[in-house]
Amino acid sequence: MANWIWILIAIAAVVVVALIAMAARQSRTTALRQRFGPEYDRAVEAQGRQAGEADLRERERQRARLDIAPLPENTRVRFAGEWRDLQARFVDRPADAVVAADGLVYRVMEARGYPMMDFDAQADLVSVDYAEVVENYRYAHGVREQVREQQAATEELREALLRYRSLFDELLRAEDEQAEMAAVRAPGPAGQRDAADSDLAPRRVDAYGGVDAYGSPAVRPADETLADEIPVGEIPAEESPAGESEVPDERA
């Protein structure tokens, strides 16, 4: 066989290998986009595509080594009751309610089996399971830090409580709901993962509205607004928005 034919075969082989490698990289990128959603964009914007994708894959590896379990039913009901109690305190003591929400979310995560580390690492790990709401968690925690300096306005506190609620509801899902949502979030063709058009549309545990006849927290469609559920209280004019006294840390 002539040498030029061998050269053409070698070039063709190199091109095929390159195309396969490109397809594999694109497939990994697509899978990460589907799993992490806006968190993918955040990581890539902060670190660049290669480093950002490597970070997200490392989060997946860390999560795979953990044993994260749904909460027992009686624990779910107890935590839901605690949320109702802290919400009731919002009108008179909004800063205290936000601090309590931070502490409650922390304890629920610990009960589920998440390792309790520094906040940034903790949020990164949570993003593997709850990419849709992890940014809510970051925002709410930021407001909670403002409370330490008594710099949080009442509306910011109200928004923080709503955002803590979004993660709290996800963490409180029952075991069957956890399995359903894992299937919805699994990478796959977009047409197979459109939760909005399926019976697996995200639902939220009703942490405010009591329990059903079987003692389980009720669930309702995720598109219902929470904005009207958290009351807006009047803060006395002489007090700072976050209250005058130092707010105790619920995690202590």
pLDDT at 180 (0 to 100): 57
pLDDT value of position 184: 53
Weakest-pLDDT range from 23-37, 59-73, 82-96, 158-172: 23-37
Average pLDDT, the chain: 74
Asked if 205 contacts 173 with a C-beta cutoff of 8 angstroms, the reply is yes
| Residue bearing the bigger pLDDT, 167 or 181 | 167
- In this prediction the pTM is 0.65
Nearest CA among 123, 155, 152 for reference residue 136: 123
Q: How far apart are the C-alpha atoms of 59 and 29, rounded to whole Å?
A: 15
pLDDT at 29 over 80: no
Report the pLDDT value the prediction gives residue 40, as an integer from 0 to 100.
87
| Mean pLDDT of the region 149-164 | 92
Name the pLDDT band for 141 (thresholds 50, 70, 90): very high
Give the Cβ contact number of residue 36 at 10 Å. Answer: 24
Is residue 220 a contact partner of residue 177, using CB atoms and an 8 Å limit?
A: no
Predicted confidence at residue 203, as pLDDT, reads 37
pLDDT for position 196:
38
Q: Is the pLDDT of residue 123 over 80?
A: yes
- Compute the average pLDDT of residues 229-238: 44
Average pLDDT (89-118) is: 93
**DSSP string over 69-126:** -PPPHHHHHHHHHHHHHHHHTTTT-HHHHHHHHHHHHHHHHHHHT-----HHHHHHHH
pLDDT in the model for residue 204: 37
Whether the pLDDT of residue 219 is over 60: the answer is: no
What's the pLDDT score for residue 220?
37
Does residue 208 have a pLDDT over 60? no
**The predicted structure's pLDDT at residue 105:** 96
